[in-house]
Structure 1
Amino acid sequence: MEKPMLLPTCQALTLTCATAIASILSAYAATPASSNSVVVQASPDFPVAAPEAVGVDSRPLVQLSEMIRKENLDVRSFLVVKDGKLIFERYSKGLTRDHNYELYSITKNVTALAAGVLVDEGRSKLDEKVAPILTKARPDLKEAFADKQAIELRHVMSMSTGLVYNFKPTDDPIYYGAPDRLKLAAGTMPKVAPGTAFDYTDVNPILASATLGADAGMPLQNFAEEKLFKPMGMTHYAWERADAKGLVSSGWGLRLRAVDMAKLGQLVLSGGRWDGKQIVSQAWVRTMTSPTSAPWYGYYWWINDIVATEPETHAMGFKGQFIVVLPERNAVVVMTSMLPIEGGLRESRNVLAIRRMVNEYVLPALSNHAHAQPTPASRKALARELELASQHQGKSGAPADPT
C-alpha cells in the first residue's frame, strides 16, 4: 500500500503524536467557549483559528470527518484554510503535519507556478517553440523533434500538443524505469495540429520539465526550490523519480506536506502573494487559471470541475490528491488520500468523492454564518471527532505503485 513518507528530520514527531493530540484536546477542553478557541495546533506555516472565529460552522466539518470514518475512506489528510487561517486540520492514524505525500499530477500545478516565475522574469514565453530549445540541449534528438517544430510551451502546458502516446495502464516506462524520458517523449507521433484539441497525456509534462529547466539554466526541481519552496517556508519536500539522465517529470514525483499544499492554494487565492511577498505575478495567476484548450482547463490548473455554482480552480492528483481554491469564500481545501481511480479522468471515484465533500460539507460550513457560534457542545464535538480521526485508518481504494 502506498504510504505517506516521513522524512528523517521529523521522525521524532511520530513518537510524540499521541502526546501532542492529548495536550491539544486537554487545552481545548479547558478553554472558555469563545470564538477564539482552537483545536488546530499552533503552526509556523499559517495563523490558526477556530472555525467560528472566521464565521464558519464547525458542525458540517465534524459531519464530514464522521462520514470519512463511517465509509472507511482512506483519506490521509483534510485541511481547510479560511481568510488565511488554518481552521480545520484532520490527519488519519499515525500521521502528523510533517508527513509528506506523493502528489502525482499536482506536480503539474507546481510546475505551472514555476513557469509563471520564469515568464515574469522574461526567461520563458508561452509562445516559445520547445523543439529548438530541447534540441539545443539534446542534439541527439534533433531528428525525433523534426515533426514537432510547431509545438509551443503554451501547448505543452494546456495538454494540446497533439501528440499521442499509448500508455500501459499499470507499469508504463514513462513513469517507472525509463532511462531517458525525453527520448521517449520525443519519439511520440503527432495526431493533430498543436492547439486544436485537449488530450491529457503525460508526455507533455516531460517536455515542460526539460524546456523550463533549459530556460532556468538549472533542473526544474532546483528552480522550484529556489523560487517557491524556500520563499514559502516549505519543509520536508522531495521531487523524486528522476530518470537515469537526472530529468524529473513536471507531471509527477513531487512530495509535499498537506500544509504546504495549502500554501500553494493560498498563493493562488492571494493573486501570487505569500506572506507579503509577490512570489508570482497576479497576471500569471489569472492566465494560469483561465480556460485554454478546454473550458475546464487552464495551464495545468483545472477550472470549475469540483464546484459548478461559483468560481473555483483546483489542482488534482492521481488517487485523490486535491487543492481546491474558492475565491468567493476566501478559502482553500486540501485533501490527500488513496481513493479509487475507476471512472475516468474527470469522473473517477476520487473526483466524485471530493465533489461530494466540498459541495455537501465544506460549502455549507462556509455558508452557515448564522450558526457559526461556538458552544461547549460544538467545541467538544469537533475536538472529539478529530481525536477519533487520528485513530482511524481507512481502507485503501487505490493500487500500490510499482517499485
Structure 2
Amino acid sequence: MLGAKINSTNYFDRRFLRTRIMIRIINCNLTSPVKVLILTLFFSLFFIGHALADDGRCHDIVGENFDAAPPSAESMSSDRLLSLISSLDEARYDVRALIIMRDCKIVFERYKDGLARQYNHAMYSVTKSISSTLVGALMLQRKIKNLDTPVATLIPKPPGLRGDAWSNAERVTLRNFMQMSSGFDYKHDPVSNPIYDARQDRVALAIGQKFIAEPGTRFNYSDADALMTGTVIASLADRSLLEFAKSTLFEPLHMSNYAWWFPDQGGRFPGGWGLRLRPMDMLKIGQLYLQKGEWNGARIFDERYPDLAWAPGVSNRYGLHWWLGKVNGVPFYFANGFKGQRIYVFPSLRVVAALASSLPDKEEAVVPLSIVTAIIESTDAAHPVDAESDTKLMEAQKAGFHGETRVRQDNQDSPRRF
C-alpha cells in the first residue's frame, strides 16, 4: 500500500453533526431552563471530548498499523507537505519511507517505488534509542533502581577481560554509558574497530579501554558505550536483547517484520546497532514517548521516563541515547541513525514522524532538516489548511519516491520482507 487510506469522517463532518444536534435541542418541546441545562451538558461533553482528541494520544486500540486522516482534518497544510516532496523528488534524494502522524492519525505516508509498509529497514544507531526504551521498561519493573549504579554491579565479569580492567566497570555508571560520557578513549571506526567483530568478546573490549577523561565529564559518541547499555539490559532481563524487546516492546505494540542482526558468538546483540524495523513501527516508538509510556491501556515505561531520557546530559544535544533539537523555536527529540534513519517526536505539536533513507553525509545533513522544517511549518497558521489540496497530496504519495542511491550499499542496506 503506497498511500494512507483517508478516513471518511473528518473535522468538518463532526462540526456539521454538532450543529444539527444543537438545532434539534433548541427546537425540541422542552422548557427553556431544561434546554439550557441540556445545551450546557452537551457543550461540556463536547469540549472534554475535543480536548481528549487533541492531546496527541491514541484513544482507540492500535493494531499493526495506525489509522489515517487527511492533513486538513488534523490542521496540517497539505500544500506545505506537497512542496516538501516536490523538493525531495527534484533533488532525487534516496528517501525510502516517510510517515508523518498527528494526533494518532497518519497524515502522510510515502515509500520508494517498489517498497511498501511491510518492508523493514536497517536502523543503524536508531537502535540506541530503542535500547533506551528498554532501560525505561526495566526501571518500571524495578530491575533498575538507579542509573548512577556502577555497571560492575549490574553485569557479570566478562571471561575475556584481562588484568585489573574490571576496576573500570566500577568507575562507570549506566547513566555515563547512556549519555556517551564513559570517559573511555573510543574512536569511531566501523571498518577497523574490533568491537564490530562478532568473534570478539565485545564486552571485554568495551570495558578494557583506556580512560582519557573522568566518567561523566566528556561527551564522546561511542558505539562501545551503547554496547554496554545493551549488555546491562540483557543481564538484568536475564534474556537476550531481542527476546526482551520482543516480549516487552515489540509484541505489546503489535510490531511486525522486525529483526536484530549481528549477535556475537555468545548470542549477545549489540545495544547500539543491528535493529531492523518497519517505518510504521518506528512511528510507534515515537508515539509511545508522546503517550509517556502507555500503550493500549498497558504501561511500557513510567510516565516520567521521557523527561529523563530527553534531559540534556554532558552534551546539551544528547540525553539517554536520544538526541535533542530545536528548529524555528520548536523543540523536538529524535532517534538518529546512519544514512538518514530518524524517529522524530514533537510533543508541543502532537506530531511524530519516521524517516528511512540511504543518504551520503552532505545529504544526510540537508534532507532531515528540510523534513523537520516542513513538519513544523505545516502546523503553522501561516500556511493554509486546504481540504482540496489533500487530494493532490494523496496522488503524489501514490507515485512513490524515486531517488538515486548515491552512497555505498552493503547487505544490510537492502529493505526486506522476511
* Superposition TM-score, scaled by structure 1 size: 0.83
Q: Distance in 2 between matches of 1:281 and 1:51?
A: 31
Describe the SS at the equivalent of 2:96.
strand
Look up the SS of the partner of 2:223 in the other structure.
coil
Query: Match for residue 141 of structure 2?
Result: 121
| The one of 337, 344, 353 aligned to 1:333 | 353
Residues in 2 aligned to 1:84 and 1:76: alpha-carbon distance in whole angstroms: 22
Does structure 2 conserve the Cα–Cα contact (< 8 Å) formed by 1:315 and 1:324?
Answer: yes
Q: Identity of paired residues, percent? A: 31
* Partner SS, residue 248 of structure 1: coil
Q: Give the conservation status (yes or no) of the 8 Å contact 2:63–2:254.
A: no
Residue 324 (1) aligns with residue 344 (2) = yes
**For 1:282-305, what per-residue CA distance to the aligned partner results, in whole angstroms no more than 9, with x for missing partners?**
11111011111111111001112x
Q: Distance in 1 between matches of 2:387 and 2:81?
A: 13
In the TM superposition, residue 119 of structure 1 has moved relative to its aligned partner by 1.2
Q: Deviations over 1:24-66 (max 9, x none)?
A: 79x97xx899968xxxxx9842121111111111111112112
Matched, 1:83 2:103: yes
1:401 shift after superposition? 3.8
Confirm whether residue 105 of structure 1 aligns to residue 130 of structure 2: no
Q: Using the TM superposition, name which of 183-192 and 332-341 deviates more.
A: 183-192
Task: Report the Cα distance in structure 2 between the residues aligned to 1:353 and 1:370, rounded to whole angstroms.
Answer: 21
Q: Look up the match of 2:331.
A: 311
Whether the 8 Å CA contact 2:160–2:204 is kept in 1: the answer is no
- Paired letter, 1:396: T
Q: Is 1:350 aligned to residue 364 of structure 2?
A: yes
- Determine helix, strand or coil for the equivalent of 1:93: coil
Q: 2:215 aligns with which of 191, 194, 201?
A: 194
What code does the residue aligned with 2:402 have?
Q
Larger Rg: 2
Q: Can you list the C-alpha shifts for 1:272-319, whole angstroms capped at 9, x where unaligned?
A: 122232211111111011111111111001112x53512211111011
Give the distance between the partners of 1:79 and 1:148, measured in 2 at CA. Answer: 41
**Gap change, CA 1:176 and 1:87, over 3 Å in 2:** farther
State how far apart, in whole Å, the 2-side matches of 1:138 and 1:171 are: 22
* Runs of 5+ consecutive residues of structure 2 not aligned to the other structure: 14-61, 413-418
Aligned counterparts, 1:21-32, within 5 A:
none
Q: Which residue of 2 aligns with 1:384?
A: 395
Query: What do residues 341-392 of structure 1 show as CA deviations (whole Å, max 9, x unaligned)?
Result: 25xxxxxx41332112211x222212247722312xx244212211222xx4
Q: Does residue 282 of the first structure (1) align with residue 303 of the second (2)?
A: yes
> Which whole-Å CA distance do the structure 2 matches of 1:330 and 1:148 have between them?
40
Which of 137, 159, 170 is the aligned partner of 1:149? 170
In 1, Cα distance between the equivalents of 2:298 and 2:154? 31
Q: Distance in 1 between matches of 2:270 and 2:9?
A: 50
**Counterpart-to-counterpart distance in 2, 1:323 and 1:85:** 16
User: Which AA in structure 1 matches 2:88?
Assistant: I
Is 1:179–2:200 an aligned residue pair?
Answer: yes
Secondary structure of the 1:141 match is coil
Cα gap change, 1:330/1:379 in structure 2, threshold over 3 Å: closer, same or farther? closer
- Structure 2-normalised TM-score? 0.80
Aligned to 2:86: 66
* Separation in structure 2 between the aligned mates of residue 43 and residue 148 of structure 1, nearest angstrom: 41
Q: Alignment partner of 1:113: what SS?
A: helix
Aligned alpha-carbon RMSD (Å): 2.5
1:204-223 equivalences under 5 Å are 204-223=225-244
Aligned counterpart, 1:160: 181
Q: Which residue of 1 is the match for residue 376 of structure 2?
A: 363
TM-superposed deviation, 1:224 = 1.1
* Counterpart Cα distance in 1 of 2:96 and 2:379: 22
Structure 1 contact 35–374 (Cα < 8 Å) conserved? no
Aligned length: 361
The Cα shift of 1:151 comes to: 0.3
